[in-house]
Amino acid sequence: MKLGVLNIIPRSFRAKGVWVCVTIFIRALLNFMGLAALLPVLYLILDSQSTSSNAIMAGIYDYFGFTSEMSFVVAVALCVVVFIAIKCGINLLLYRFERDYIYSLYRYLSRNLYIDYYNRGLSFIKSSNSAVLSRNVNVVCYTFVSGVLRPLAVLLSEIVLFVLLFVSIAIYNPIAALLTVAIFIPAVWLYFALIRDRVNKYGTIENEAHRRKFRDTVETYRGYADIEINNAFRSMLRQFDENSDTMISVGAKNATVSTLPQLFTEIGLAAGMALMVVLCVGLDSSSMKILFGLFAVAALRLMPSVRAIMGAWTSLRYNRYTIDIIASADISTPTKVESVESEQMAFEHCIKVENLGFKFADSQTPLFTNLNFTIGKGEKIGINGRSGAGKTTLFNLLLGFYPASEGRITIDGTALTAENRRQWQNTIGYVSQSVFLTDSTILANIALGVEQSNIDMERVERAVAAASLAEFVSSLPNGLNTRIGECGALLSGGQRQRIGIARALYKGAQVLFFDEATSALDSATEQSINQAIVELAKADEALTIVVIAHRESSLEYCDRVITLK
């Protein structure tokens, strides 16, 4: 697990991580010194003659010129209080340094996992569950830093403190040190032996149940209409309840496990106190008090330390699954994001498809092979064919989402590649059957990806007019600033398609791709959208339009129709 954690931490964070380890050691040392600072007070309480009988105490008393026992006791107590206060202040600053490091690492991991999933492309996203990807980005990364890295820091700090205390006790009184080991080591060993395998299993089960519950919740709200019509909510609720019950059951077991460290350490402390009383029999009163007091102070500080070690180890085991999820993304180095590039690819003549073939990675059978055709600039081309013939896949190839298995696609003789894909995508517009809409305003959806302050309102108004959307927008109280709900839920199907068209026109697309953009619309709305497309073509003869459609009526305005078989 340690190696897995180190692999996840990016190189840019590792140097600072060394300093975090240093602060952990300093905090442990300060905590040890804070405990040691209590010893003079302990001596003064348990041995009233310590001012004269103890060489160190007597030396301090004489050096500072004290004249009474009371003034000396008050001075010692005040010094201890001031030191403890300073120690706590330094500890707080060091902890803030550790905290900032851990949460900046969370930001890095979450951001880069988000980018990594996006950069894997359309085929990966289509083969994955979006709810699971979202949970990994937002929840798993946070759980990793809060449930693995923070407990790991606690574990290191408390182990250092434990070692310092044990060595100090051993130097002062080996018997007390051996007694401490005899108390805590068996308790820790028994705890680990009982829960070691269980906790790891609990964490994995909880993650799977949480993932399924998250997925079911997203799918329920996304598919409300179908679920309601088919009376399927009871089934969805049953799955929701089952996953909730699993999470509650596992959470209850883990909560019980979390209480065990306190139980084990308190029993061990009580046993140690009893043994210390037995061992002190026969010693003089003063020595017995000091030895017993020393053990009590050390044990009382060791008890929360041991408890923290056990709790941190439990958290590490419980959240171990996060390491595998994040490590699988290989984001230890910064994930690249394509720069915002507005340059378009030169397109003056034609798009040519040459001997094009494609098959999916998990399929042995090609979807199509040896496909050849040309789309001239300004043409209106229709593409149809039976279901499963590969129409949408062909579009994804033309859009640059998939690499061809064989053959190539060229634009004015330049092959479409991963290197120039961004320039090509800046040249084209895409309107799908389900236009992607964010839960924001009409304006933000038309100028998708453009900062509010950089939106060209004149271009927006031209795009709105060209997409036959002006009358609808003007009827709204807030006009272009009207919010449209999740996935455009407050709009009709035709209005969503027109926003998609306006978006393509706003970016100045030279080629418009319509992927069955009207198949989900009624006949009247379909006809109006098709008419809007015709008007676009008339207004700009250089505009190239490529349309996928099942119905021949949707392709009547096309110059040519390519049929996939």
**Nearest-angstrom CA–CA distance, 409 and 404:** 8
Return the pLDDT at 117: 84
- In this structure, is the dihedral angle defined by the CA atoms of residues 433, 434, 435 and 436, taken in order, positive or negative? negative
Decide: 507 and 343 in contact? Cβ < 8 Å.
no
Return the pLDDT at 52: 60
Which residue spans within 295-450 are E strands per DSSP?
A: 350-358, 368-376, 380-385, 406-411, 414-415, 428-432
Phi, psi for 497 (deg, rounded to 5): -65, -40
Q: Tokens standing for 538?
A: 């008339």
CATH topology of domain 2-327: ABC transporter transmembrane region fold (1.20.1560)
Q: For residue 493, give the H/E element and its range.
A: helix 493-506
Helix (H/G/I), strand (E/B), else coil: 422: helix
Q: Tokens standing for 243?
A: 């996953």
**Nearest-angstrom CA–CA distance, 515 and 536:** 17
Residue 539, judged by CB atoms within 10 A of its CB (0-12, 13-18, 19+), counts as exposed
Return the pLDDT at 352: 92
Return the pLDDT at 365: 83
Rg, the chain, Cα only: 35
**Nearest-angstrom CA–CA distance, 422 and 399:** 10
Return the pLDDT at 471: 85
Within 8 A by CB and 6+ apart from 83, the residues are 33, 34, 37
Q: For the chain, what are the domain ranges?
A: 2-327, 350-564
3-state helix, strand, coil in the chain (%, to 5): 65, 10, 25
Q: Tell me the pTM.
A: 0.71
**Nearest-angstrom CA–CA distance, 123 and 307:** 48
pLDDT in tens, the chain (565 residues): 544 677 778 777 878 888 888 888 888 788 777 777 766 666 666 555 556 656 666 777 677 777 777 777 778 778 888 888 888 888 888 888 888 888 888 888 888 888 888 888 888 888 888 878 888 888 888 888 888 888 888 888 878 877 877 777 777 667 667 776 766 677 677 777 666 667 667 777 877 787 788 778 777 776 666 676 567 778 778 888 888 888 788 777 777 776 666 666 666 666 666 665 555 555 555 555 555 666 666 666 667 777 777 778 778 887 888 888 888 776 666 556 555 566 788 888 889 989 988 888 777 888 888 889 898 998 888 888 887 778 888 888 988 888 888 999 999 989 988 888 888 888 888 888 777 888 888 888 888 878 888 888 888 888 888 888 888 888 888 888 888 887 777 888 778 888 888 888 888 888 888 887 665 555 676 677 777 777 777 777 888 888 887 777 778 788 888 888 7
How far is CA 527 from each of CA 189, 206, 292, rounded to the nearest angstrom?
76, 51, 93
Return the pLDDT at 103: 85
Query: How many C-beta atoms lie closer than 10 Å to residue 528's C-beta?
Result: 17
Q: Decide the pairing of beta strands 380-385 and 350-358.
A: unpaired
Architecture of domain 350-564: 3-Layer(aba) Sandwich (3.40)
